[in-house]
Structure 1
């Protein structure tokens, strides 16, 4: 009997420690909020992992190297310059490495290259200031040309409809008198 009492006391003390934990797994009104927080947390971890996947210095070097043009006159992307013995691309590549290793931002490195080699070193203009015109102007010209073409087509169709209305009205009255007047005015 003593063993039975000892077993019961162990079981009851065991249940006393487990009962509060059982409340975590039972459905309640607060359960959807907890699930939502877990899903949000998991989503944030996944988003952070995806964002940080490409954050290596090598990927930054590749990205920036493909946004610049070699200034040797070949017109190729800096990292794609395939001239044998090109005197310019190895120097530019080492300068790009040193700029990245020094901790410069992309914009500051691009600005440094632009001041040293000129604006032709950039494959695409940097956004900001007057360079925004290079991004906005082609889209604005395309939009205005599309609107102008639509307006021109509408104007032509209105003229065509007006001509059809006049020709549907019938022959011009006094046609013989007009012809006689034209004949007299064109005689020598």
Structure 2
């Protein structure tokens, strides 16, 4: 009976240990560097070590910028700041260059849209220019065909005249 009691107590202890672990995780607000929430926040900022990746994906050996930045992001998230508030804070502090994607307003929007519009306009202009050249060359080909037909007609007339003259004298 003593064995059964000790096994029961151990099982109860394990159950309570799991419950305390869950409660401890809730006190930390569940902010983990591998969580989706953290990824959404960290991936909107470019790493400043020169790797060209965002802070979430930066894997440069010895990159101290990312480690400090991630710790700062976790602190901000634990204080209750959401993704947009953190973004605003860093844009004010470091400028728009820190963002992986430009804001969808003002000059940033124009700077991203205008090159594509210019390429589209240039492509349309080239299309119509080539179309005009093709039509012009098609007209020249018709003129050449007409010219060849008129040459053939003239040749027939000349050969018939020569033939008649030859019949007269021969």
In the TM superposition, 1:11-160 aligns within 5 A as 58-160=35-137
CA distance in 1, matches of 2:87, 2:66: 16
Shift of 1:138: 4.0
The DSSP-based 3-state class of the residue aligned with 2:52 is coil
CA distance in 2, matches of 1:134, 1:152: 28
Runs of 5+ unmatched residues, structure 2: 1-29, 152-170
Shift of 1:168: 2.0
Shift of 1:133: 1.5
CA distance in 1, matches of 2:78, 2:116: 37
Q: Number of aligned pairs?
A: 118
The DSSP-based 3-state class of the residue aligned with 2:135 is helix
Q: Do 2:54 and 2:100's aligned partners in 1 also have CA atoms closer than 8 Å?
A: yes
Q: Do 2:40 and 2:83's aligned partners in 1 also have CA atoms closer than 8 Å?
A: no
Scaled by the length of structure 2, the TM-score of the pair is 0.57
The DSSP-based 3-state class of the residue aligned with 1:63 is helix
CA distance in 1, matches of 2:84, 2:115: 23
User: 2:138 matched to which residue of 1?
Assistant: 161
Shift of 1:126: 1.6
Scaled by the length of structure 1, the TM-score of the pair is 0.52
Q: Residue by residue, what CA displacement relative to the aligned partner does 1:41-65 show, whole Å, maximum 9, x if unpaired?
A: xxxxxxxxxxxxxxx8632221221
Runs of 5+ unmatched residues, structure 1: 1-55, 174-188
Q: Do 1:71 and 1:117's aligned partners in 2 also have CA atoms closer than 8 Å?
A: no
Higher relative contact order (CA 8 A, sep 6+): 2
Say what the alpha-carbon RMSD is for the aligned residues: 2.7
